[in-house]
Structure 1
Amino acid sequence: MTSPEEPSASRVVQYCSELISIDTTVGHQPERKAAEYVAERLAGAGLEPLMLEGAPGRSNVIARMPGREPGLAPLLVHGHLDVVPADPSDWSVHPFSGEIRDGYVWGRGAVDMKDMLAMILDVVTTMRAAGQAPRRDVVLAFVADEEDGGTHGAAWLTEKHPHLFADCETAIGEVGGFSVPSPAGPLYLLETAQKGAFTLELTANGLAGHGSMLNERNAVQSLARTVAAIADHPFPLLLTPTTREFLDRLGEAFGLSDTRNDPEQALAAVGEIGRIIGATLRHTATPVALNAGGAPNVIPAHAHARIDCRSVPGHEEEFLAELRRLIPPGITSEVVPRGSGHEYALDDNLAGTITAALLAEDPTAQLVPFCMSSATDARHFSRLGIRCYGFVPLRLPPGGDFVSMFHGIDERVAVDSLTFGTRVLHRFLSTY
């Protein structure tokens, strides 16, 4: 197999920079211009991209790259075109400049996730120009609206156009594939599980009255106590097969013992990524909104709260039961689903192929599964029975805070990480 070298290395940087310069801020700028950019490059590589819109301007691009062995189930490779908002006054560079500086490509979407879109486009272009093909068919999905739930993107596609993915059994997308340093060599974290998500809406109904008077039916007071009880509740440690293996592997890499019973030592060892992993070891319920009254001297009759709930995959019902025990009579609740959690075993073929692709570029690489604390478009594609994994291969430079790049100020991706990821992705698609 011929590996992608220069000029592919410069092309992926160009693609990433140009994609960042197309503002696709969710809720403000539709994805159509970025979708047209992607479709033009796919067509230039000889593919036949299909553009579908879940709403005017909310564009999705689907294409199929034929493989050498058509009898194998196709692989779905998906990424989202939209990004979260960015205030230019907070940034060192303009967030939609795509500036290349100090060995990095800067801008909103550099790691979430126009870096992966650029790598996909580069690999497709390189393969097709060289007359190469992936081992199996690859279904490419560049989707809208992931940052706002996928209503016009993956959720809409899986509901309205499921036939496009009907024969796919496995998928890769965000978040995973990045390196974490350890004494035993870099650990590349592969996302094999995600927590489920739902919103808990609480309403307290009380007796309206004057703020100067005693009121035993104060809706605000009742709701505040309930919200505090939920937020302060010590949900127990709940390890799944993924999190148990993650803790075991960290124990081996860092020379730690009993990481399952004392996970905090392992989380401290991996630095900032421990913030993500720590949130996957138990259910979480985080208050995100409170709304009641308005006048300074009026006790309102009603008070409302919204709680962001994330469930350990496979344990959603017991989580709900535990939450309901914390809600007293007089407080009504409504559960608004936002996506079921999932957890997939890592079969030998997938693990072996990813590991081999990493080792070809980093001889000390080790593949380690992990659970994601938040949700991605995988929640939608998994409803079709597709096993979804997070794999955006990046060998990260030392000293950076990769976690803070997601939705953060001065988001950027190293040029070396981009070119590394492109080579790994090329090998993976060629051999899986």
Structure 2
Amino acid sequence: MKRFAIAVAGALALFSSGSASAQTAAPRPDRLAFRDLYKELVETDTSVATGSCTLAAAKMATRLKAAGYGDSQITLFGDAKFPLDGGLVAVLPGSAAGAKPILLLGHLDVVNARREDWRRDPYKFIEEGGYFYGRGASDMKAMVASWVDIMVRFKKDGYRPRRTVKLALTCGEESGARFNGAQWLAENRPELIAAEFALNEGGGGRTDGRGKLVTQSMQIGEKSNRSFELRTVNPGGHSSIPVDDNAIYQLADALARLRAYKFPVRFNDTTRAYFAKSGGVRNDDLGRAMVALAKDPADRAAETVVSRDRTFNSMLRTTCVATILEAGHAVNALPQRATATVNCRIAPGEDADTTRAALARAIGDAGVSVTVVGRLRPVAVPPPLDPKIMRPAERLVARYFPGVPLIPTMSTGATDATYLAPIGIPTYGVPGGWGDPDGNGAHGLDERREVRSVYVGRDFLYDLVKAYVQ
């Protein structure tokens, strides 16, 4: 109890401070050790283009072995055809034979980052202006570092949880181009990760953009991820005698119509509660619009206000956006083919078929084919809103962040939780750390995580896991 009180006191001290100097001044020795772990993860390139998850998994295995884990408690796994995409499962046995395990899930891989695009080296861990910078600093190496740190601390402290604690670090969540570790474990070694429930990314706090934490959230479900290819074809010809019938122009017109199309508002129980509760704690026009829209989804004025926020807009509806373009075959020839990849994040209650049909209607051109392409994840299944999951988190949020509500939310992205539901493992995105409304550069340039968020989030997750397993 004393350790918990110290952790919360330290968290509140960091949380209440607004200056960068106070945020970074003289961290505790245990936080310095954690910082070193976090730094090692960020500086280990795990992108599909130039990195290796296998290397990162091996480094984490070394840390776990140094803490006292035996070879029988650590499994390094992978597929020989994909030597760079390996992962790790570690197990800390519990004391109660009948108590079901919990699983801590995290992906090691990150989105590709090109040095020439970034102001800082994406694979150098940099602390600047109250933030940690680097690819994966936000998505999701801060949480991965926290999971490994928890396993290390439990072992070093001689803590024997009542439940068995399992840790799974996987590759392929971000790209899926070669090998997805969570999918492989679910299909080939389900006994290795079997658990009553799993904790994962997708939850967390949100600031008002000015340093004030507004809400904390527990992810209860997520959108489904599907990609579609738009294609136009044409006989082509010599570029010196152009005609209006041009594959590129036809595709461009289709994309312009797609850009103008908005899918209708579609609430579910989780998102309706989220907008009503999180809007209710805001004292601004956006908050009032959130409450009004939750009450009446047909309120167009409220929808306009809420949709200006990119995150809230994505929570309201299915979204589709063009992400890749390819066209033409020679500089002196009319294009014979033009294609665009459109990535859709589909709200619960809709699927690939209904979304494809909506895209075709919005485009309104039979000459533009719309085809599902790419990896097909299982359709996301929302886990139950279980009091055994929510109550410990609510108590900790109240202690760490007085006055900040914990609200169930739906993730607008896709996580590896989709692979666990089919084998009976409900997965929750946990609160703790927080981000800014601009997304903190996740999947983009100069990715960052606030120093306070990392340190406080780490302490919070330690106490949360302990509450679930003791």
- TM band (smaller chain): 0.7 to 0.9
Q: Confirm whether residue 349 of structure 1 aligns to residue 376 of structure 2.
A: no
Return the letter of the residue paired with 1:200.
Answer: F
Please tell me whether residue 27 in structure 1 is matched to residue 65 in structure 2: no
Aligned residue pairs: how many?
423
SS of 2:198's equivalent in the other structure is strand
Structure 1 residues 46 and 392: alpha-carbon distance in aligned structure 2, compared to 1, 3 A threshold: farther
Aligned 8 A contact 2:228 2:341 in 1: yes
* Aligned partner of 2:348 among 285, 309, 313: 313
Between the aligned partners of 1:103 and 1:212, the Cα distance in structure 2 is 57
Q: Is the CA contact 2:270–2:409 (under 8 Å) kept in the aligned structure 1?
A: yes
Aligned residue runs from structure 1 range 124-203, under 5 A = 124-149=151-176, 151-165=179-193, 167-181=194-208, 186-203=214-231
CA distance in structure 2 between the partners assigned to 1:341 and 1:419 by the alignment: 31
One-letter code aligned to 1:356? R
Q: 1:105 to 1:297 in 2, by over 3 A?
A: closer
Out of 122, 125, 134, the residue aligned to residue 98 of structure 1 is: 125
8 Å CA contact 1:247–1:263 kept in 2: the answer is no
Q: Output the aligned Cα RMSD.
A: 2.9
Work out whether residues 220 and 292 of structure 1, in 8 Å CA contact, stay in contact via their aligned partners in 2: yes
Unaligned stretches of 5+ in structure 1?
269-273
- Structure 2 counterpart of 1:323: 359
1:334 aligned to which of 344, 359, 371:
371
Compare 86-95 and 246-255 and name the one that shifted more. 86-95
1:228 is aligned to 2:253: no
Which residue pairs with 1:300 in the alignment? Answer: 335
* 1:38 is the counterpart of 2:60: yes
Aligned twin of 1:56? 83
Q: 1:281 Cα deviation (Å)?
A: 1.2
Deviation string for 1:145-200 (max 9, x for gaps)? 222127242223223322322x3232221222124359997310222222111111
Mapped contact 1:50–1:63 kept (Cα < 8 A): yes
Q: Is the 8 A contact 1:32 1:59 kept in 2?
A: yes
Distance 2:305 2:242 in 1: 49
Are residues 1:407 and 2:435 paired?
A: no
Cα distance in 1, alignment partners of residues 225 and 219 from structure 2: 17
Q: Which moved more, 1:64-73 or 1:107-116?
A: 64-73
| 1:10 matched residue in structure 2 | 32
* Residue 215 of structure 1: how far off its partner (Å): 5.4
| 1:205/1:25 CA distance change after superposition, 3 Å | closer
Q: In structure 2, how many angstroms separate the alpha carbons of the residues matched to 1:276 and 1:353?
A: 27
Moved more, 233-242 or 252-261: 252-261
Residue deviations 1:5-26 (CA, integer Å, cap 9, x gap): 5542222112111222222232
Q: How much has 1:327 moved relative to structure 2?
A: 5.3
Q: Distance in 2 between matches of 1:302 and 1:402?
A: 36
Q: Report the TM-score when normalising by structure 2.
A: 0.80
Please name the residue that 1:250 is paired with: 278
| Residue in 1 that maps onto 2:145 | 118
In the other structure, the counterpart of 1:271 is: none
> What's the counterpart of residue 79 of structure 1?
106
Q: Secondary structure at the match of 1:16?
A: helix
1:213 deviates by 5.2
Aligned mates of 2:279, 2:346 — CA distance in 1: 25
Residue by residue over 1:42-97, the C-alpha shift from the partner in whole angstroms, topping out at 9 and shown as x without a partner, is 22333321101232132200012223444233222111212223344555543333
Contact 2:270 2:408 in 1 (8 A): yes
Alpha-carbon distance between aligned partners in 2 of 1:160 and 1:176, rounded to the nearest angstrom? 28
What SS class does the counterpart of residue 63 from structure 2 fall into? Answer: helix
Give the alignment's TM-score, normalised by structure 1.
0.87
Give unmatched runs, 5+ long, in structure 2.
8-27
Question: Using a 3 Å threshold, how does the CA distance of structure 1 residues 33 and 234 change in structure 2: closer, same or farther?
Answer: closer
Percent identity over paired residues: 30
- How far has the Cα of 1:217 moved from its partner? 5.6
Give, in whole Å, the separation in 2 of the partners of 1:162 and 1:370.
27
Distance 1:327 1:367, change over 3 A: same
Aligned 8 A contact 2:440 2:448 in 1: no
Q: 1:169 to 1:365 in 2, by over 3 A?
A: same
SS of the residue corresponding to residue 148 of structure 1 reads coil
